C-alpha cells in the first residue's frame, strides 16, 4: 500500500514555487499578491486562513489579510472586492467561506475579477473547466489531481466514483477526472446502492463529510482511495474513510490529516503564481 503523502508533496510544491517566485519577482518588480478576506470569527475559517497565510509567506507570496466583523454589510463587502479587483498589486482574491448569515456568497464570488479568481469558484472558471479550457481550477479537486500525478497514478480508463456533488469538490472533481480520461461517476445522498458503485471503482474520492463512512466492504481490492473529508470528532480529526480498516485492501490511500488538506493549500499557491504570471506577462 502506498500512502499518498500530501504533506510532503505540498512541501515539494512550495519549494518549487519559492524558486519560481525568487526568479520572477526581481524581474517584474514585485512579488505575487494574495488578498484574503475573512468575515466574522468562525474558528475553523480562522485556522484555514492562518494556514494559507503561512504557506504564502513560505514561498514569497505577499498575503494581505482583510478581516471584517461578522455584521459587515453586503454593500461594504462588495466595495472591498471592487477595490481589490482594481488593485494592481493583488493577483488573487480569496473569499473565505462560509460567510456569516445574511451575506450573499454567490453574489460576492461572481463579483471577483475572473482573472483573480484563484479559488476557481467564479462561473467563468467553472465554465472553462467544463469546456476543457485553461483557467483557474477549484483548489481541492485540483490538489487531488496533482497528488495523483506526482505518484504516477494515471486515472485514464479507470472508473472513478466520487462521493459528494458539491460545487467546490464533487462536481469539479468529476470534470477533472474526465479531462484525464477516467470514467467518473458522481454519487450523492440519493444514490441507490452506493456501496455497489464504490465496490466497482478503481478510484474512490470520498467528499461527503461523514466520519469513517467508507468502510472496507465498500472498497475493491487494489483500489485507490482519496479521502477529502475533514471531520472533527471526539477522537480528533478524521476523514470520510475508515482508514484503519481500508488501508490493507487498497493500493494507495491518503491519510487524514496530511493528505488532501495540504494539497488544497498548495494548489491555492499554484493558482496565485499562475495569476501573477498572467498579470506581469511572465
Ligand atoms: P457539502 O457541500 O456538504 O457536500 C456534501 C456532499 O455529500 C453532498 O453532495 C451530499 O449529497 C453528499 N452526501 C452527504 N451525505 C451522504 C451520504 N450519506 N451518502 C452519499 N452522499 C452523501 O461538502 P463539501 O464542501 O463538498 O465537503 C465535503 C467534505 O470534504 C467535508 O468533510 C469537508 O470538510 C471536506 N473538505 C475538505 C477540504 C480539504 O481541503 N481537505 C476542502 C473542502 C472540503 P446531496 O447533494 O444529495 O445532499
| Residues 6 or more apart whose Cβ sits within 8 Å of residue 75 | none
**Residue pointed to by grid coordinates 485492501:** 249
| Whole-angstrom distance, CA of residue 212 vs CA of residue 73 | 39
Which atom of ligand 1 has the smallest separation from the CA of 256?
41
CA of 38 to the centre of ligand 1 (A): 22
| Whole-angstrom distance, CA of residue 104 vs CA of residue 240 | 29
Pairing of strands 231-233, 159-163: unpaired
Q: How many CB atoms lie within 10 A of CB 44?
A: 11
C-alpha cell at 137: 481550477
pLDDT at position 160: 98
Identify the segments of the chain with pLDDT beneath 70.
Answer: none
| Whole-angstrom distance, CA of residue 150 vs CA of residue 128 | 24
Which atom of ligand 1 has the smallest separation from the CA of 163?
21
* Catalytic option among 117, 119, 227, 240: 119
pLDDT at position 149: 98
Ligand 1 touching residue 90 (CB < 6 A): no
Ligand 1 touching residue 262 (CB < 6 A): no
Q: Where in the chain is the domain with CATH 3.40.50.720?
A: 139-260
3-state secondary structure of 194: helix
Q: Where in the chain is the domain with CATH 3.40.50.10860?
A: 29-116
For the question of whether the overall pTM of this predicted structure is more than 0.95, the answer is yes
Query: Is-catalytic flag, 119?
Result: yes
3-state secondary structure of 158: coil
Q: Which of 51, 98, 209 to mutate to test the pocket of ligand 1 (most atoms within 8 A of CB)?
A: 209
CATH class of 139-260: alpha beta
pLDDT at position 49: 95
C-alpha cell at 120: 476557481
Nearest CA to ligand 1 atom 40: 261
pLDDT at position 243: 98
Contact (Cβ atoms closer than 8 angstroms) between residue 279 and residue 27: no
Nearest CA to ligand 1 atom 6: 164
- Paired residues of 95 in beta bridges: 37
| Whole-angstrom distance, CA of residue 77 vs CA of residue 124 | 21
> 29-116 in CATH: which number?
3.40.50.10860
H or E stretch at 105 = helix 105-111
Ligand 1 touching residue 190 (CB < 6 A): yes
| Whole-angstrom distance, CA of residue 60 vs CA of residue 62 | 6
Q: What is the DSSP letter of 159?
A: E
Amino acid at each position: 500500500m502506498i500512502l499518498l503523502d500530501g504533506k510532503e508533496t505540498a512541501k515539494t510544491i512550495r519549494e518549487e514555487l519559492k524558486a519560481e517566485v525568487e526568479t520572477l519577482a526581481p524581474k517584474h518588480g514585485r512579488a505575487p499578491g494574495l488578498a484574503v478576506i475573512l468575515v466574522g470569527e468562525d474558528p475553523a475559517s480562522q485556522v484555514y486562513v492562518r494556514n494559507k497565510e503561512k504557506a504564502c509567506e513560505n514561498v514569497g507570496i505577499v498575503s494581505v489579510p482583510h478581516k471584517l466583523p461578522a455584521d459587515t454589510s453586503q454593500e461594504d463587502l462588495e466595495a472591498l472586492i471592487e477595490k481589490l479587483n482594481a488593485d494592481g498589486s493583488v493577483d488573487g482574491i480569496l473569499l473565505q467561506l462560509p460567510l456569516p448569515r445574511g451575506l450573499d456568497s454567490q453574489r460576492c464570488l461572481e463579483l471577483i475579477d475572473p482573472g483573480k479568481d484563484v479559488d476557481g469558484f467564479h462561473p467563468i472558471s467553472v465554465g472553462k473547466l467544463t469546456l476543457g479550457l485553461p483557467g483557474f481550477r477549484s483548489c481541492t479537486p485540483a490538489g487531488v489531481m496533482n497528488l495523483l500525478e506526482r505518484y504516477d497514478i494515471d486515472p485514464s480508463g479507470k472508473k472513478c466514483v466520487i462521493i459528494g456533488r458539491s460545487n467546490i469538490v464533487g462536481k469539479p472533481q468529476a470534470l477533472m477526472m474526465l479531462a484525464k480520461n477516467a470514467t467518473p461517476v458522481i454519487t450523492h445522498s440519493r444514490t441507490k446502492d452506493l456501496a455497489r458503485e464504490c465496490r466497482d471503482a478503481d478510484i474512490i474520492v470520498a467528499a461527503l463529510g461523514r466520519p469513517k463512512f467508507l468502510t472496507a466492504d465498500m472498497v475493491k481490492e487494489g483500489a485507490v482511495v482519496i479521502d477529502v473529508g475533514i471531520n472533527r470528532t471526539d477522537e480528533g480529526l478524521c476523514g470520510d474513510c475508515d482508514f484503519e480498516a481500508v488501508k490493507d485492501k487498497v493500493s494507495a490511500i491518503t491519510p487524514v490529516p496530511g493528505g488532501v488538506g495540504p494539497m488544497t493549500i498548495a494548489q491555492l499557491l499554484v493558482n496565485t503564481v499562475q495569476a501573477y504570471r498572467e498579470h506581469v506577462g511572465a
